[in-house]
Amino acid sequence: MTTTPQNQGKKKARDGGAGFSDLLHTFKPATRQELANDALLLKADGLLEPERLLAITANLTITDGANAGKIEQTAGSIALALTDKHDETIGAVFYQPNSNQLPTVITYADHAAIIIGENDPNSEVIAFNDLDYALEYYSHTVHLKQTIIVSPIKRNRQQFKDAIDHWGNDRRVIVPMTLDDHRTKKLLAGVNAQAWITVADIVTMLDGGNTFDDIQNEADIVELQATGWADPEPLANDPSKPTDYPIHAFNGLLRRVIEWVAYYAQVPQAMAGQCVLGALAHMGQRFIDAPFGHGFMPASLILITEGESGSGKTQAMSLTHFKIEQHERQKYKQYLDDIDVWESDKAGLKGKELADFKEANPMPLNPKTMFKEATIEPILDMFISGQINSASWTTDEAGQFFNGHTMKGDTAGNALSSLTTLYSDGEVSRVRSQKSAFATPKTDAYDVRMTLLLQGQRVVLEPALTDPLMNGQGFLARALIACPPDLRGQRVWNDASRRRDDPNDNPDLIAYWSRCQSLLDPTPANEPTTAQGQPERIKMRWADDATEQAFYEQMQAIENRQASGQALEYLKAYASRMAENASRIAALIAFFDGRKVINKDDITRAFLLVEYSTSERLRYLDATPTGEQNDSEMLSSWLVSKAKDKKPAILNRTDVFNGAPKPMRKNNKLLQCELDNLESKGHIKQSVDGRKKIIEVNPKLFDAAS
């Protein structure tokens, strides 16, 4: 903007503040007579230096910009200069004495303000949106080292904000306001300013004898810059915050069963869901194989669920495994009867008769297939001897597995290797010394299956889930993890109607148990069997090409997330097994429904469950050890330390690239990944200022760091 006096057309002002300052000072300071008894101007004259109030004797013409040629009716007005934070004159506000009309503002910058007091860069800045009120305040605080900035037009709230924003780039601005002034607080959210909120307005308090320090002590001080930011989210993975369980991954009867089990046992749905999957795998692994690649794999599962003592683990398993346990008891009773008969028949036989009897009538084998208390080696021996070909280790005391002799001894690595091979290929290999009491020529078992459903306390599971051997051997990479919330303290025991609601009368549970019974029955005579008389497993297949493609699209998405800088970059072993587990789950769901093909809906729901498990796994894998910081925390702390003394808290992206802590320093891909993560968690904002990329730090972090 450039202006000239209308009656001095040859005298043009230069562009910019210096030019306008020169123009204003061609006019003389106003006299008391020229102020003509205007209360506001007379008050200003009593508090400001004479040269700050100028008597304008001509109309000014705008000579450039959008309003070029416009004549402002400034003759007879009193001008107060408008300045910026550098004390440069960038405009003026023109008051007509004893007039009700709004003053005229001529400026080329919306952040221009009237300055009262000295514009000292080391002083506190106090902002007002009313000149009369600001002068009244100044009359009480003239002795203080303060810079008072006043928006030239009271009703122009945006200009008030712009002025505070401008001064706030260098130092924090104080904005007095009362409790009921919610509008101003909302307007200024995000600017580098402090709201001093008091019951009465600040001038009234000063009139009442309060000092500025008294007001500061009594005021509710709110950092307005922080109110423009969301609260930053924590960066360390918190094992205490469970992932929401995707109950919608099940439908029909299975979903209702999980909901009922959660209700009757008063356990989280995740615990009930894991128990149902364990039951399906125990029953289904004997009869089906899941498709994968150009072949098939076992439908066994490894399920690990966190649950404290008394949290309902036993009750949940008693409902989901009711028919399995009943079936085990019946088979064991028959086994005891068969042993009695066998012992009776061989009694008294000796020599060749005894040998011929044993050859024609082998000793009955213990049919037990569900183990609660065991060690790994005897179970592997039972596979090799042919005693069983399908089993599950199902326990609510996972410590018996993780803290047992095998897992704590020198043989832990071999045992884990055996379990991973059994899970992946259905094979067992175990060579014994032929000189030992347990010598046997049999060393291998093929086409056998084993599911693990392990539920235990955090004190047991947390060390196991972060154990290098457990992870390195690939055992945990194959597991489906659930760490649901502990409901103790929220359960209901004194509801009489709830106590009368017997799960044994529940139609959905009855239907589920009936289906389990039909799946546990021996294979009908018309079903194909192996040479050993075991059922020939059904090779579950994709419903069509589109279904198979849908499965591999999901698998590809998981693959892409393992790339450098992506979410699963440091969980590759686990991520690589996600699709395998999804195929197994989908096959088991279809099997329970009585189908031999897997459809797209089965796939979608199965991947929801493996994604849930992955989220739970990350909670333990990435949980920050005590006293240490992960990369995101390190970067956030570094950014806070670099920006805390800057007003506003803005850093140059190039400086961050060169100075960030390792491993982000000068690693653009990793740095950008971490910056994006910090932005998503509300720690920073990334933007472009002209040709510069800048990073603004959430001011709420400064309080947390202090």
Q: Is the pLDDT of residue 240 over 70?
A: no
Q: Span 9-16, mean pLDDT?
A: 34
**Within 13 Å and on the Cβ side, how many CA atoms surround 225?**
26
pLDDT tens-place string over residues 59-96: 888 776 666 778 888 888 999 988 888 888 888 899 99
Task: Please determine, for residue 238, whether its predicted confidence score (pLDDT) is greater than 80.
Answer: no
Task: Catalogue the E-assigned strands of 584-676.
Answer: 597-598, 650-652
Q: So what's the pLDDT on residue 65? A: 63
Of 2-6, 218-222, 265-269, give the lowest mean pLDDT range: 2-6
Q: CA dist 268 to 275, 313, 322, 415, 659, Å? A: 11, 10, 19, 32, 46
Chain-centre distance of CA 171, in angstroms?
34
pLDDT: which is higher, 20 or 8:
20
Residues 585, 478 contacting (CB under 8 angstroms): no
pLDDT, tens digit (0-9, with 9 covering 90-100), for 435-461: 444 455 678 889 999 999 998 887 787
- In which band, very low, low, confident or very high, does the pLDDT at 405 lie, cut at 50, 70 and 90? low
Helix, strand, coil share (%) of the chain residues, nearest 5 = 45, 15, 40
Per-residue burial over 445-463, b if 16 or more Cβ lie within 10 Å, else e, is: bebbbbbbbbbbbbebbbe
Q: Considering only CA atoms, which of 243, 177, 232, 5 is closest in space to residue 705?
A: 232
Distance CA 61, CA 58 (A): 10
As to burial, measured by CB atoms within 10 angstroms (0-12 exposed, 13-18 middle, 19+ buried), residue 19 is: middle
Residue with tokens 């904002």: 685
CA distance 656 to 249: 43
Quote the crossing angle between the two packed helices 631-643 and 668-680, to the nearest 10°. Answer: 80
How does pLDDT run across 174-211, given as a tens digit for each residue? 989 888 887 787 777 777 788 888 888 999 999 988 89
% of the chain beyond a pLDDT of 70: 88
* Helix 39-47 and helix 131-141, axial crossing angle in degrees, nearest 10: 30
What is the tens place of the pLDDT at every residue in 281-316?
Answer: 999 999 999 999 999 999 999 999 988 888 889 999
First to last CA, the chain: 45
Confidence at residue 256, expressed as pLDDT on a 0 to 100 scale: 95
The predicted structure's pLDDT at residue 137: 92
Q: What gap in Å lies between CA 30 and CA 433, rounded to an integer?
A: 114
pLDDT level of residue 574 (50, 70, 90 thresholds): confident
Q: Which two tokens stand for residue 648?
A: 């506003």
Is pLDDT at 702 greater than 60 in this prediction? Answer: yes
User: Which string of DSSP letters, residue by residue, matches 484-541?
Assistant: PPP-TTT-----HHHHH--GGG-HHHHHHHHHHHHHHSPPPTTS-B-TTSPBPPEE-E
Structure tokens at 496: 């009489």
276 neighbors 261 (Cβ within 8 angstroms): yes
With b meaning 16 or more CB within 10 Å and e meaning fewer, what string describes 623-655?
beeeeeebbbbbbbebbbebbeeebbbbbebee
> How far is 583 from 560, CA to CA, in rounded Å?
19
Cis status of the peptide bond prior to 503, with omega within 30 of 0: no
Would you tell me how many other CB atoms lie within 10 Å of the CB of residue 182?
A: 10
> Token pair for residue 335?
């086994």
Q: Are 252 and 489 in contact (CB under 8 A)?
A: no
Asked whether the beta carbons of 206 and 169 are under 8 A apart, the reply is no
- The answer to whether the pTM exceeds 0.85 is no
For residues 257 and 250, what is the distance between their CA atoms, to the nearest angstrom? 10
Alpha-carbon distance values, 242 to 261, 268, 403, 613, 634 (Å):
20, 11, 25, 11, 24
Asked, as a colleague might, if the bond just before 663 is cis with ω within 30 of 0, I would say yes
Question: Per-residue confidence at 102, pLDDT binned at 50, 70, 90?
Answer: confident
**pLDDT band at 434; cut points 50, 70, 90:** very low
133: closest CA among 37, 40, 221? 40
DSSP 52: G
- Write down the pLDDT at residue 556: 92
Q: Residue 23's CB: how many other CB atoms inside 10 A?
A: 21
Which pLDDT tens digit goes with each residue over 332-384? 999 999 999 988 988 888 888 888 888 888 888 888 889 887 778 888 888 88
Nearest alpha-carbon partner for 110 in 164, 74, 56? 164
**Beta pairing class for 146-150 and 114-116:** antiparallel
Domains contained in the chain, CATH given: 1-109 (no CATH), 120-228 (3.40.1360), 247-489+498-621 (3.40.50), 631-705 (1.10.10.10)
The C-alpha torsion from 630 through 632 and 638 to 639, rounded to 10°, is -170
Contact 128, 147 (CB under 8 A): no
Q: What is the pLDDT of residue 228?
A: 62
Q: In the chain, what percentage of residues exceed pLDDT 90?
A: 29
Kindly provide the residue ranges of all beta strands, DSSP E only, lying in 554-659, ordered along the sequence: 597-598, 650-652
